[in-house]
Amino acid sequence: MRGGGGGCERKCGVGTSKFPAVDIFVTTADPVLEPPLITINTVLSLLAVDYPANKLACYVSDDGASIVTYYSLVEASKFAKHWVPFCKKYNIALRAPFRYFSGNSSPPQDSSQEFQQDWTRMKDEYKQLCKKIEDASNQEPETCDFDVFSNIQQKNHPTIIKVILENKEGVADGLPHLVYISREKRPKHPHQFKAGAMNVLTRVSGVMTNAPFMLNVDCDMYANNPQVVLHAMCYFLGAKDEIDCGFVQFPQFFYDGLKEDPYGNQLKVLHEYFGRGISGIQGPFYQGSGCFHRRKVIYGSSPYEKITAGELKDEYIQKTYGMSEKLSTSIAKTLLEGSNIIEQFNSDSPSSSIEIAHQVGSCGFEFGTAWGQKLGWLYGSVAEDILTGLFIQSRGWKSAYCLPDPPAFLGCAPAAGPASMIQQKRWATGLFEVLLNSKSPIIGTLFGKLQLRQCMAYLQIQLWGLRSIFEVCYAILPAYCLITNSHFLPQMVSLQISWCCYSMIVIFVEKSCINSSSFKFQSNSPSSPPTQNQAPKPRYMRRSSSIAVEHLQCSLHAFAEVRSPITPLFLMILPPPGLPGLPYHVDHLLSYFTTATEFVPSKRSIKDRKKTVDEHIHCLGHLFNNKVSRHLTIIKSSTTSVLSHEPKIGIQLQHCYELQHSTFYSSKSRDYPR
């Protein structure tokens, strides 16, 4: 939880002046559903990250225009003057106070006396902060600085911008800028939900600090890893070409999720597996929180466009981005080809740009511009994150997936069923809106630069709402079959169903063999001799490709005799054997399928079938070693089921199994013929 002392120069390394600046966006909308105490903990964890403070600026967007939220941020800024130095001095790993103190009732006993005193003092100050916020929630505070919040309505008020913290001296070990923003809202003007708030944050930060990179997080997603900014910069600055890293997405994990996730709102499959998979195509989706963006990407830049100074005329910029001279200057500085990301940062005091920030934060500034249509966070869906990320990747940008240890961000998951249903309904609705949008993945693939496989990945999640219909029907099907005394599967020839079960068992046995520590498949040529510790290769593994093809033809013939509707499926997943470099386990699996097909009644004699069975079962003895008994029992029961209609063959196979079983456990087991 703690380590040695050291400032930012020691933690981040010498030469922090060359670090690029980062603007951090925190969004909140309702002080009831999103308590201010949660918001300030997220802000405090971000202010205390291991990064030069003069390269950071934190902007908090309050769509609820809550005086309690603003008051909480003001009080939190006072606490931050003690909390941030405490975290960096002792290298505290968990920098959200409510999480840090909830897991520690007392300071570590093996720590120094100085640390124990500082720890006790910080916990007392945090308790006082929590009490002030709780009192303010019950009774609104009365201070002259809060006059702007008087007589305003949540959906009808002017722009409110307050600079709470300001690093005027540009000290790396100080505190970052902290700015409160509540954008203008009018009853007859569409505010576009979170996408509108993010676009206001982009413009206000553009005239105040104009950092080349932007991080946005939800108010309930605190920074769990203090080096999260450094992790993201490794992707941005380490990429050979900036096209490979338009944005860096961190997965969303939760600290208060229910065990076993009964409501499925933690989306573990999406974050832990699906995200890793699509990282090999064009990268993960933009998930709305815990994401670093290039500012130029949000401004609508394409990776294949080389913008020169002659193309960025004032008339074009003002028509596209809005009528603001300072905003136009910062946008031109960001979009110009070959611009230095260090020089893009505006080192002027944020308080000097308050008036211009009010202008770009007004609700009428976007009229006649491309905001929300071709640049910024896009409008048209409540799932603005997916729509915006899709539009970015359709222009040719790729994204990166970063999974540091410990996780970069931890959030709060809904704990009740109704809240989870409302959340997932909103997600499903938004995703389906994206599918029907003019910027859908299909359009992006046909007319943009979205890859086909990436398009299929987008369709997989955007059809989430429609898939639920079939999933519900599948879930109630077993109960329906029990009530009506009907079959779960269509009544087909019993041999076909048994063959399907047998094939699944074959795959299971093959997987167990691959994972067995006593047998390791080699990727060398089939002619390489076995080592002393390696199991002898069965004879069918050393057959020539022509014999393997003959076995495949035998399998096809057997499938044709069965005339099963599942035949094409098994033929698709079964690769042809004997190819150069083909792993042995593929030939191994093929031989099992061959054996199974030869069990099927055909014109082959019983003697030939028994001979093949004898050979394959004996091979299993060498492959499975001590696990022979368990696997032979599985195969024995399956074969008996398949051949229930052929008693004579079944009796001979039973005798074959018993003979082999006794042979395996005999002290004088014969060697396999080489």
**Is the previous residue joined to 141 through a cis bond, with omega within 30 degrees of 0?**
no
Identify residue 192 by its one-letter amino acid code.
Q
**Cα dihedral sign, 390-396-398-399:** negative
Catalytic pick among 63, 118, 218, 220? 63
Q: Are 375 and 202 in contact (CB under 8 A)?
A: no
Encoding tokens for residue 312? Answer: 């960025």
Count of CB atoms within 10 A of residue 660's CB? 18
Identify residue 171 by its one-letter amino acid code.
V
Distance CA 327, CA 203 (A): 7
Count of CB atoms within 10 A of residue 425's CB? 11
DSSP secondary structure letter of residue 449: S
Encoding tokens for residue 403? Answer: 């999974």
In the chain the first and final C-alpha atoms are separated, in Å, by: 61
Listing DSSP states for 399-433 in one string gives: EEE---SS-SEEE----SHHHHHHHHHHHHHHHHH
Q: Are 137 and 68 in contact (CB under 8 A)?
A: yes
Residue 385 catalytic? yes
180: which strand partners?
60, 162
Angle at 291 between CA 414 and CA 66, to 5 degrees: 55
Distance CA 206, CA 197 (A): 14
Ramachandran quadrant class, 172 (left: phi over 0; alpha: psi -120 to 50; beta: rest):
alpha
Distances 51 to 33, 43, 48, 55, 457 between C-alpha atoms, Å: 31, 15, 8, 7, 35
Within 8 A by CB and 6+ apart from 278, the residues are: 284, 285, 454, 457
- What torsion do the CA atoms of 662, 664, 666, 668 make, to the nearest 10 degrees? 130
Rg of the chain, C-alpha, whole Å: 33
Within 8 A by CB and 6+ apart from 258, the residues are: 413, 415
Q: Are 50 and 39 in contact (CB under 8 A)?
A: no
Distance CA 118, CA 115 (A): 5
Distances 334 to 64, 170, 343, 455 between C-alpha atoms, Å: 31, 22, 9, 30
Residue 147 catalytic? no
Distance CA 86, CA 48 (A): 9
Within 8 A by CB and 6+ apart from 305, the residues are: none
| Active site residues per annotation | 63, 385
